[in-house]
Amino acid sequence: MTDIDEKASFWLSDEMTARVRRRKRAEARFRFLGLGAIWLAIVALAVLLASILYLGLPAFTHTQVRLDITFEADEFRDVESKQGPEFDQALNRVDFAALIRQSLMSVFPDVRSRSDVLALQTLVSRGARFELRDMVKDDPSLIGQTIHIWLPVDDEVDLGYGHTGKEGAESGSRLSEKQVAWLDGLKADGRLKRSLAWNFFTSGDSREPELAGIRGALVGSFYTLLVTLIVVFPLGVASAVYLEEFAPKNRVTDLIEVNINNLAAVPSIVFGLLGLAVYLNTFHLPRSAPLVGGLTLALMTLPTIIIAGRAALKAVPPSLREAATGLGASPVQVVFHHVLPLSMPGILTGTIIGMAQALGETAPLLMIGMVAFIVDIPGGVTDAATVLPVQIFLWADSPERAFLEKTAAAILVLLAFLVLMNAIAIWCRNHFEKRW
């Protein structure tokens, strides 16, 4: 028997056949485990998104009650003669809650006892009186008139009755049988409706869940990211260009590169401590302002953009540099006329991803005081503000049940912005990227 025959017989032997079967079974198990891990991750993600959608979607609608409010002239006799700040002060002294109570009692004239009147009045949001005050402030001609107004109901009514329309204990609410009966009467008269909660996007934060919105947090996030982008983009691109194209290769630049890579892995709360120590305690910049928040997030995002920028610059073929140099271009012209334009898609992609990371950060902003309860919409980068992740943190810590839905709805908005920013980054990469 020749060597070839011996080798052929070895590969066709029962021992080798069994070994090949074991290898194929091991590969099949490995493939099965890999696919199982992928499907498990997909299922877990689907369950997470489904739970957030289930909790958050009802927050985009709310229940309102239609009342006939009479702005009696006697209630405003001290208001009509005032002007300017005195008008506002006199208007603040008007008992708008009494106007709501009188309107409800006109719908249910049989309600007379003090406890029943109080229970009836609690069906309407406590913030409704401020809506009436703002209406009169904007249009003083309403004094002496009776108008039909849709006012928000209390959050307990919205949770226990507005979402399901069920009665009694079946709704799982904290409403009494009398309150459910009154709501049934209002619904039968066409005085209850459920509509889109536009105030969720147009209002600032509030102690009342049914009145709370995310406009203040959205504007604060915009100003914060604007400051971050203005600071981090030129610094990040300039640093990447210098380190990749002009810096000499020595121990100093090696130390700088190591520190940049290490800073990219530092916990974000460390940058919050740095912002607290430098911007607030040393430079005494305004606390809770988007200016400080943007500068703090710029410190955190800068290493990411430098690393992404260097990778984009390194991806440009050396032949382009050599061709430009051979045609007489200076090193600066080679970089800024040829290399940097070709690497800009990768730099923009890294910048957008870094900004998306900054949008979702909470810990650094907690350290600089952006966790405060702020009702007013910020008008600039120096006004007190909060951002969307911190707003979610505040609502998640609130004891009212309705804030659970607000938290999930705000998470959906934040996820939508993050997905949009990542989609823009992918589009920029695919649309502008050059294939070498």
268 with 193, same domain: the answer is: no
Which structure tokens are listed for 24?
Answer: 């194929």
Residue 119 within any structural domain of the chain? yes
pLDDT digits (tens, 9 = 90+) for 18-28: 888 888 898 99
- Say yes or no: 304 and 377 in one domain: yes
Same domain, 176 and 263: no
Residues 241 and 290 placed together within one structural domain of the fold = yes
CB 146 within 8 A of CB 198: no
Within this chain, do residues 108 and 225 fall inside the same structural domain, yes or no? no
DSSP state of 174: S
- The residue out of 152, 174, 204 marking a domain boundary is 204
The parent domain of residue 20 ranges over 3-57
26 part of a folded domain: yes
Same domain, 89 and 223: no
- Full DSSP string of 398-415: -SSTHHHHHHHHHHHHHH
pTM of the model: 0.85
Q: What is the predicted pLDDT for the residue at 231?
A: 94
Co-location of 223 and 190 in the same domain: no
pLDDT at 170: 45
- Look up the CATH number of the domain holding residue 402: 1.10.3720.10
The answer on 32 and 140 residing in a single domain is: no
For residue 235, what are its two tokens? 């610094």
State whether 261 and 307 are in the same domain. Answer: yes
pLDDT value of residue 9: 62
Show the 3-state SS of 248-277.
CCCHHHHHHHHHHHHHCCCCHHHHHHHHHH
Q: Residue 379 and residue 222: Cα distance in Å, rounded?
A: 11
In a domain, 210, yes or no: no
Copy the structure tokens of residue 234. 């030129």
Residues 422 and 338 reside in one and the same domain: yes
Chain CA centroid to CA 123, Å: 31
Residue 209 lies in a domain: no
CA distances from 380 to 91, 215, 220, 313 (A): 29, 14, 9, 36
Question: So what's the pLDDT on residue 294?
Answer: 93
List, for residues 225-250, the tens digit of each pLDDT value.
999 999 999 999 999 999 998 888 88
Domain count, the chain: 3
The number of C-alpha atoms within 13 Å of 380 and in the hemisphere containing its C-beta is: 3
CA pair distance 200, 273, nearest whole angstrom: 32
Q: Which of 359, 384, 366 is nearest to 271 (CA)?
A: 366
Instruction: Find the radius of gyration of the CA atoms of the chain.
Output: 32
d(CA 187, CA 169): 18
Judge if 194 and 227 occupy the same domain. Answer: no
Q: If 0-12 CB within 10 Å is exposed, 13-18 middle and 19+ buried, where does residue 54 land?
A: exposed
- In the listed set 57, 75, 90, which residue is the last one of a domain according to the structure? 57
Token reading at 267: 């916990």
245, 119: one domain: no
Gap between the terminal Cα atoms of the chain: 55
Q: Is residue 66 part of a domain?
A: yes
* pLDDT of amino acid 86: 79
Whether residue 269 is contained in a domain is answered as yes
The predicted pLDDT at position 10 comes to 57
Q: Which residues of the chain have pLDDT under 50?
A: 165-171
- Classify residue 137: in a domain, yes or no: yes
Tracing tokens 């696919």 back to the chain, one arrives at: 35
Boundary-marking domain end, from 21, 41, 57 = 57
